[in-house]
Amino acid sequence: MLPWHKEPFILDNTQQRPIILASTSPRRKELIASLHLAFDVIPSHANEDTPPEWTPEQTVQELALRKALAVYRGLEGREQEAIIVGSDTVVVLDGEILGKPVDEADAERMLSRLQGRVHRVFTGVACIDGGNGQSLVHYRQTDVTMKELSDATIRAYVQTGEPSDKAGSYAIQGIGASLIDRIEGCYFNVVGLPLSLLSDMLDGFGVHVLPRT
């Protein structure tokens, strides 16, 4: 064995309470799994309609809480020790929230607006105590600068199919990474779940990613 080779790392944390992720997003499942926390997934099926006057900060926090609450209310006394985690992400340009594209033409329009400019990504995170309903809600913001892109590049990216279910019509963790010049803030926030924020919030419910002294 090479002197710098190490066996695969397995985190032995002191998690005592189960976690329920109120999302079926593959990206969020991968991110929370990277913290070596045991969790289950329950889709929230929450209504995501919001008033147009809501700010991005209010939108992501309210929707994250709405998703977590939908799962919490459906527990019916089961898993009262669980902590329910909800999350919501939006892309904002010129004060306008850009959602998921309705079709390829819509995705191309969004990317044409984003290219060569700075936009902001907001993600809200909500945690609810399954035993007493106590909740904690916060958000993170990241500034993202997209490269200047030709129409041909935008069209080729859209044809990969990756933008179809992504807010703002791109995925920074996928092929869309090639479109990004730089970011200021948390990378995981752009992916869909700011892990540093989540770990701090879980501390308040007695779940520690790393042991506390």
Instruction: Say which residues have a Cβ less than 8 Å from residue 30's Cβ, sequence separation at least 6.
Output: none
Q: How many C-beta atoms lie closer than 10 Å to residue 179's C-beta?
A: 20
Task: Give the tokens for residue 185.
Answer: 């803030």
Dihedral (CA of 112, 113, 119, 125) sign: negative
Task: Give the tokens for residue 184.
Answer: 């200021």
Across 71-159, the runs of DSSP E, i.e. the strands, are: 83-93, 96-98, 118-129, 135-146
Task: Give the tokens for residue 138.
Answer: 């916060």
DSSP 87: E
Q: Which of 40, 49, 88, 94 is catalytic?
A: 88
Active-site residue flag, 88: yes
Buried-state track 113-147, b at ≥16 Cβ within 10 A, e below 16: bbbeeebbbbbbbbbbbbeeeebbbbbbbbebebe
Residues identified as active-site: 88
